[in-house]
Amino acid sequence: MLLSIEHNLRFQYSAFVRESHMEIRVEPRALAGQAVHDFDLAIGPHAQPSRHEDWMGNALHWFSITDYHDRVEVACRSLVETSPSDRDPQTLEFPVRDMPEQREIWDYIQFVGPVVRSERLKVLADDLQLSDCETVGAIVTRMATSLRDHIMYRSLVTHAHSTSDDALEAEAGVCQDFAHIALGLLRLQGVPCRYVNGYLHVDNASRPSESHAWIELWTPECGWVGFDPTHACEVGERYVVIAFGRNYADVPPNRGIFRGAAEELLSVEVRTSPVERRERHHAEAPLIMDVPVFAEAPDRAAVHEQRGDEAAAQQQQ
């Protein structure tokens, strides 16, 4: 599937701030089964981002804005070709008891950050009878069929910094929480697994596409295999990978600081659409973000009045 992806982030500040320093992870990864044909990034106020890869090979863009501003806007556009899944994680027959100890996967069996080894997690693992599962696929099947009986999908119950234990206590959460709980359950059984941040394309016009989180688990025979605990399914061509990590804290879409006495409000919009011909994408105009900066903190009311006049003039045209 050839997918065109637009991802827009808008950081609005309640007052003018002096500086912003930010890192973002919005560039899809080039992987077996996922080819990145194009990627464009624009930042407003204008900034020249530096690109590097973190210790897990994820693309990271970092930028600074050092003049007064009251908002930051980021727009990115990707063209990604994905492939159907070639492995259902529920069919993995590798015995759990034979999982080797390898240095390369050591990080992915540790309880660190928001993935908490707690009494609630152990109780859930007992309720799911995961210790009775002899193969990795049997563990995944048990989670796919029973996890939603214990955890309800519900937004505004947790937040970006919630732990797996917070979601277990609330008995509810979003995709990030389902991923953290699934990671904890697998690690309790000694199965290496990692967090995946990316996009999920949805055909339903009444339901928008979205940033999404799922997991991958590892076996010596098959390597990394994707599983979506939120939807209890394998990961296929509608999924686009941006970054891998031990948990969400390793791979947030954005992270940064600003200098100023202001409140920050973040809004995010994601749009994905299948593309039939690549030429359509290349014909699009380059991304440009026109967001002003000021050498000194201006009068906020005057700036808003000026913007209102500009908007009115554009409507008349």
> pLDDT tens, 43-80?
999 898 999 999 999 999 999 999 999 999 999 999 99
pLDDT at 313: 47
Rounded Cα gap, residues 253 and 251, in angstroms: 6
**Which CATH topology does 89-236 take?**
C8orf32 fold (3.10.620)
Helix (H) or strand (E) holding 187: helix 175-188
The CATH 3.10.620.30 portion of the chain extends over 89-236
> Which position has the higher pLDDT, 302 or 172?
172
Kindly state the percentage of the chain with pLDDT values over 70.
Answer: 87
Q: Which distant-in-sequence residues (6+ apart) come within 8 Å of 197 by Cβ?
A: 25, 211, 213, 241, 242, 243, 244, 245, 248, 251, 252, 253
Both tokens of residue 195?
Answer: 């967090």
Are residues 69 and 294 in contact, defined by beta-carbon separation less than 8 angstroms? yes
The CATH 2.60.40.2250 portion of the chain extends over 2-82+253-316
Rounded Cα gap, residues 224 and 254, in angstroms: 25
Rounded Cα gap, residues 219 and 240, in angstroms: 22
Tens of pLDDT, residues 278-296: 555 554 666 666 777 676 7
Helix (H) or strand (E) holding 211: strand 210-219
pLDDT at 311: 46
Tens of pLDDT, residues 175-217: 999 999 999 999 999 999 999 999 999 887 666 677 899 999 9
| CA dihedral angle for residue 237, residue 240, residue 245, residue 249, rounded to 10 degrees | -130
pLDDT at 190: 96
The pTM score is 0.88
pLDDT at 206: 61
pLDDT at 95 over 70: yes
What strands lie across the sheet with 19-24, from one edge to the other? 50-53, 59-65, 19-24, 254-259
Please, what CATH class does the domain formed by 2-82+253-316 belong to? Answer: mainly beta
Rounded Cα gap, residues 34 and 84, in angstroms: 10
Q: Please tell me the number of Cα atoms within 13 Å of 44 on its side-chain side.
A: 15
Look over the chain and give the mean of its residue pLDDT values, rounded to a whole number: 89
Q: Which residue has the tokens 């979003």?
A: 174
Tens of pLDDT, residues 105-145: 999 999 999 999 999 999 999 999 999 999 999 999 999 99
Tell me how far CA of residue 222 lies from CA of 42, 88, 137, 183, 217, in angstroms.
38, 11, 12, 18, 10
Q: Which distant-in-sequence residues (6+ apart) come within 8 Å of 279 by Cβ?
A: none
> Which position has the higher pLDDT, 307 or 253?
253
pLDDT band at residue 101, thresholds of 50, 70 and 90?
A: confident
pLDDT band at residue 315, thresholds of 50, 70 and 90?
A: very low
Strand 172-173 to 152-153 pairing: parallel
Both tokens of residue 291?
Answer: 């967001």
pLDDT at 210: 72
Under DSSP, is residue 248 helix (H, G, I), strand (E, B) or coil? Answer: helix
Both tokens of residue 57?
Answer: 């090979």
pLDDT band at residue 26, thresholds of 50, 70 and 90?
A: very high
Both tokens of residue 210?
Answer: 């979205």
Q: Which of 126, 72, 82 is nearest to 293 (CA)?
A: 72
List the Cα angle 144/147/149 in 5-degree steps. Answer: 120
